[in-house]
Chains A and B, each alone.
Chain A
């Protein structure tokens, strides 16, 4: 097995054994979203108009909860030292860990998002663009988040610092993710926004593993 698949398989197995971690993220996503009808009021058209934005913001916050786990545990128990010393390129190891993070947090968020969209009265036309936007946007969230997670290793209260560091970088994804849903609601094509989201993903995929690897080497020094 290659280094990529070995690390991916181990992280998935660990996530499966400690499935409470993934469930917490999904539960946070659900509860935070359900708070909005209570706060904004039950008017269907108001909720329908904000549904796309609300789902995107809560999904970002939920993903943020899990980001520090990508490297923090490995850093504390010495695994990170060993992963740096595999002799394989570190960006490959990083990419495997980010993949595992996306599969264990991004994918569950995508799966529950249509159900939560019902509670916000999202019109039927918005469902497909919402799922596709999340499908293209959440990998970017994991990739960019990994850079932040690697940078805050070893700092006190790294979680708070991480959100300050990473949330501003999510703004472009948020704008185009929400716009993809809204375009569909007013009868326009959402493909331009989805293309931009795909572009962000390719960009993050190109730079994030190297930036993360550099930050990890700093962290273990």
Chain B
């Protein structure tokens, strides 16, 4: 079901999802022999937001990839609705991950890129939904252009437009504000607000999270191992 919201801002409701709470406890992760963080716990309620903060290298990206199930934790457990996540495919099916790499195929047009992800995630692609998603991130006039002609900011907006073509209860966003101008940041803020209004949860790694209202903050510096433990695992 696709229906435009009032005001014509480009947001829309497309399909439905089962909202849930996402949590983790006792999480620890090691990269290249170095403990990145340990004893980390978090909870995101339906409609909630969690902002990850921390210096460069403090493990924001690592934690997001761990939340997505791409990276394995050395300790701890992730849970959905307080049930431990043991099927990575089922978990993957309820999340959208936007990382540093934008996963855009330069040889396909902007619309074709979106259409691919939509049919992959929803089993169908609808032009109205694609058009609305392009509108939401001001990409409509570029729909027929090959993606290789896009600027860095436009590529990033195209990556973000993927979020709205196929709804999922959990968004994991790694520095989504990078390379975005003022109006695109506002579009991102609107998309996140609409997602949360429908009961979706969002986890954002960001230095300046002006696009998330409220929500809790997790400072990864608090979970960094102490210096003497730092290299002991090697």
Contacts and interface: CB of A to CB of B under 8 A. Distances in A.
A79 interface: yes
B120 A221 contact: no
Contacts of A18: 107
B188 to A, nearest CB: 18
A26 to B, nearest CB: 20
A39 to B, nearest CB: 38
Interface in B79-137: 89-90, 92-95, 97, 99-105, 107-108, 112, 116-117, 119-121, 123-125
Nearest to A78: B101
Contacts, number: 71
Interface residues of B, number: 30
A2 B123 contact: yes
Contacts of A81: 68, 70, 97, 99, 101, 103
A88 B70 CA distance: 14
A6 B116 contact: yes
A6 B99 contact: no
A86 interface: yes
Nearest to A84: B70
B70 A3 contact: no
Interface string A119-161: 0000000000000000000000000000000000000000000
Given A77-B103, A85-B70, A3 B92 contact: no
A77 B105 CA distance: 8
A2 B66 CA distance: 27
A78 B121 CA distance: 16
Nearest to A221: B71
B107 A14 contact: yes
- The residue in A6, A7, A220 that gathers the most chain B C-beta atoms within 10 A of its C-beta is A6
A168 interface: no
A18 B125 CA distance: 24
Contact of A82 (B71, B72, B117): B117
Contacts of A188: none
Interface string B45-73: 00000000000000000000000111110
A6 B118 CA distance: 10
A87 B108 contact: no
Contacts of A3: 120, 123
A1 interface: yes
Given A14-B107, A78-B101, A82-B117, A87 B92 contact: yes
Interface of A: 1-3, 6-7, 10, 13-14, 17-18, 76-79, 81-82, 84-90, 220-221
Interface of B: 68-72, 89-90, 92-95, 97, 99-105, 107-108, 112, 116-117, 119-121, 123-125
